[in-house]
């Protein structure tokens, strides 16, 4: 077997969009990803199907894997012929221990590539509104480790030279030694009034920033019980924060939101949460697929072949539109054969999916569920007419039942099936266990029932108890009913059953939460 290759990739400081183009390329081509909690789980969406994911962070039954074990794991995977991407937080060459990993790979004759990443030393201050250089304040900077014991710090850092060597000093991993660091800087000539900032979990929703001076910052850190990991910035550039704190002013800053939609649909909601300053935690609990039963497919084809016989085409989801057109292509059926049918959609997103395919939608209800669609159509349907309903296998019976009572013949075709999703990231499960989720979004009843089922399968004995206390946002009344029946509480329900409305209500919730904190 041929030896594989290892890419040692810097993932950036936490925000998944800060990874480099080359880093993404390595994720897309590899057979195995070895990652830990310092790399965003959203990056794993970019891997090809079937890629093995190896989490080397802390698990309930195992402490964090030791560095020596990770080094050997990379060797073993590569020697088995696999292409491996080792995803590391920040930049792998800045206190990232990449030298140890690369050296062992070299010793075993394994080809490797080091892919730089954006280091937390510059990115974290930037997200706190602190540029590490500034024309008026600093034209140079130093990056220094603060993780060692005081005696080792004294051996590795020449305080007399470092203290005034550059305008800005950046200490990584130095929260526990903040008192000793400030003491040395003052002793070697830094003015006690020099501004200092500590930024914890920078570029993430947990980001916290505290500001003081060399003589006050230790007391501020202790009073706030400020914990690692954090970047320490020393210098006049800290004064820029008052005007430049752009990230912390975003409307969803501070919220990690669990997105439970199908993976194909989750990205839209996740991207919008991210743009608003929140952190989406994609946890797809459902997947959609074409029916596989031969008899069902033949029945579906037969109903589509009767295109000219329908007076109505009724779409109740974007998925219904997508799979309906897939089957038209599969069975070579021209959409123009439905010329006698008037087209209605249950909501604006469904209507938009139809408009994108060149079709005009005649009716969209005020509220976006089957009951409201029926109210909109009342008086416009004539007994004896025939309506085609391209739906999913779990669609409710409200619409076809009421149509029959009106004398309309509903023809239901299951153009897709909804099944349990097959992959959930370990870090997302860890956040659920440890209370790291600040809100859960449910956009359908199936996302509610499937989330609970998936958590049971992943070892949560009482999923309802685990989720109790996490705020829940519901897309609408039907979903809310399922949430309550499952034993959970609805924190907010979208005023209109759309993603826009859901996000507006979540923003209002977060603003109130931040004012109260």
Total residues belonging to the chain: 517
Question: CB neighbours (10 Å) of residue 82?
Answer: 18
Q: Which fold would CATH assign to domain 289-419?
A: Rossmann fold (3.40.50)
Q: Which fold would CATH assign to domain 122-249?
A: 3.30.950
Q: Where are the domains positioned within the chain?
A: 5-117, 122-249, 256-285+421-516, 289-419
Asked if the model's pLDDT at residue 236 lies above 90, the reply is yes
- CA 121 to centroid of chain Cα atoms: 23
Mean pLDDT over each residue of the chain, to the nearest integer: 88
pTM, two decimals, is 0.74
pLDDT (average), residues 148-161: 70
Query: What digits encode the pLDDT tens for the residues 311-369?
Result: 999 998 888 999 999 999 999 999 999 999 999 888 788 889 999 999 988 766 555 45
| One-character DSSP codes across 55-84 | E-S-BTTBPPPPHHHHHHHHHHHHHTT-EE
Query: What digits encode the pLDDT tens for the residues 263-309?
Result: 555 577 888 998 999 998 888 777 788 888 898 899 999 999 999 99
Q: From CA 228, how far away is CA 173, in angstroms rounded?
A: 7
β-strands 279-282, 168-172 pairing: unpaired
In the chain, pLDDT over 90 holds for what percent of residues?
Answer: 58
Please write down the long-range contacts of 65-68, taking CB distance under 8 Å and 24 or more positions apart. Answer: 67/97, 67/100
C-alpha torsion sign, points 313, 316, 318, 324: negative
Equal fold, 5-117 vs 289-419: no
Catalytic positions, written as ranges: 36, 58, 173
The verdict on domain 5-117 having CATH code 1.20.910.10 is no
The verdict on domain 256-285+421-516 having CATH code 3.60.15.10 is no
* pLDDT value of position 419: 78
* pLDDT value of position 406: 86
Cβ(285)–Cβ(319) below 8 Å: no
């Amino acid at each position: 077997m041929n030896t594989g290759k290892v890419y040692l990739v810097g993932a950036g400081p936490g925000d998944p969009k800060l990874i480099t183009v080359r880093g993404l390329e390595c994720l897309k081509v590899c057979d195995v990803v070895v990652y830990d909690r310092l790399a965003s789980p959203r990056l794993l969406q970019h891997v090809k199907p079937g890629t093995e994911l190896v989490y080397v962070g802390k698990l309930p039954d195992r402490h964090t894997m030791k560095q020596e074990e990770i080094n050997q794991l990379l060797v073993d995977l590569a020697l088995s012929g696999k292409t491996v991407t080792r995803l590391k937080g920040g930049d792998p060459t800045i206190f990232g221990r990449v030298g140890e990993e690369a050296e062992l790979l070299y010793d075993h004759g394994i080809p490797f590539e080091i892919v730089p990443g954006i280091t937390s030393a510059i990115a974290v201050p930037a997200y706190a509104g602190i540029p590490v250089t500034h024309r008026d304040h600093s034209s140079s900077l130093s990056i220094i480790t603060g993780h060692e014991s005081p005696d080792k710090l004294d051996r590795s850092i020449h305080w007399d030279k470092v203290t005034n060597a550059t305008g800005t000093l950046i200490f990584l991993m130095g929260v526990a030694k903040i008192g000793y660091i400030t003491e040395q800087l003052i002793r070697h000539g830094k003015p006690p009034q020099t501004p200092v900032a500590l930024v914890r979990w920078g570029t993430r929703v947990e980001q916290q920033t505290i500001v003081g001076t060399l003589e006050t910052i230790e007391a501020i850190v202790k009073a706030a019980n400020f914990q690692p990991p954090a970047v320490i910035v020393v210098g006049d550039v800290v004064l820029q924060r008052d005007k430049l704190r752009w990230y912390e002013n975003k409307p969803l800053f501070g919220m990690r939101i669990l997105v439970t939609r199908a993976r194909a649909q989750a990205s839209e909601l996740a991207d919008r949460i991210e743009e608003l300053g929140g952190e989406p935690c994609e946890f797809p609990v459902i997947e959609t697929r074409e029916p596989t039963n031969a008899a069902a497919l033949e029945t579906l084809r037969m109903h589509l072949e009767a295109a000219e016989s329908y007076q109505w085409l009724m779409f109740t989801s974007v998925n219904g539109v997508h799979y309906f057109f897939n089957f038209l292509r599969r069975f070579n059926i021209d959409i123009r054969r439905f010329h006698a049918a008037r087209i209605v959609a249950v909501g604006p997103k469904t209507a938009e999916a139809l408009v994108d395919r060149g079709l005009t939608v005649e009716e969209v209800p005020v509220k976006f569920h089957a009951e409201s669609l029926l109210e909109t159509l009342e008086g416009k349907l004539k007994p004896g007419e025939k309506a085609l309903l391209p739906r999913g296998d779990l669609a409710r019976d409200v619409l076809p039942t009421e149509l029959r009572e009106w004398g309309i013949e509903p023809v239901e075709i299951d153009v897709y099936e909804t099944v349990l999703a097959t992959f959930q990231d370990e870090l997302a499960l860890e956040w659920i266990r440890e209370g790291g989720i600040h809100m859960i979004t449910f956009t359908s009843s199936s996302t509610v029932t499937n989330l609970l089922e998936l958590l049971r399968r992943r070892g949560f004995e009482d999923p309802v108890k685990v989720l109790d206390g996490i705020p829940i946002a519901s897309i609408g009344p039907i979903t809310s009913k399922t949430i309550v029946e499952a034993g959970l509480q609805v924190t907010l329900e979208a005023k209109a059953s759309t993603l826009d409305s859901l996000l507006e209500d979540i923003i209002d919730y977060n603003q109130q939460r931040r004012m109260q904190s």
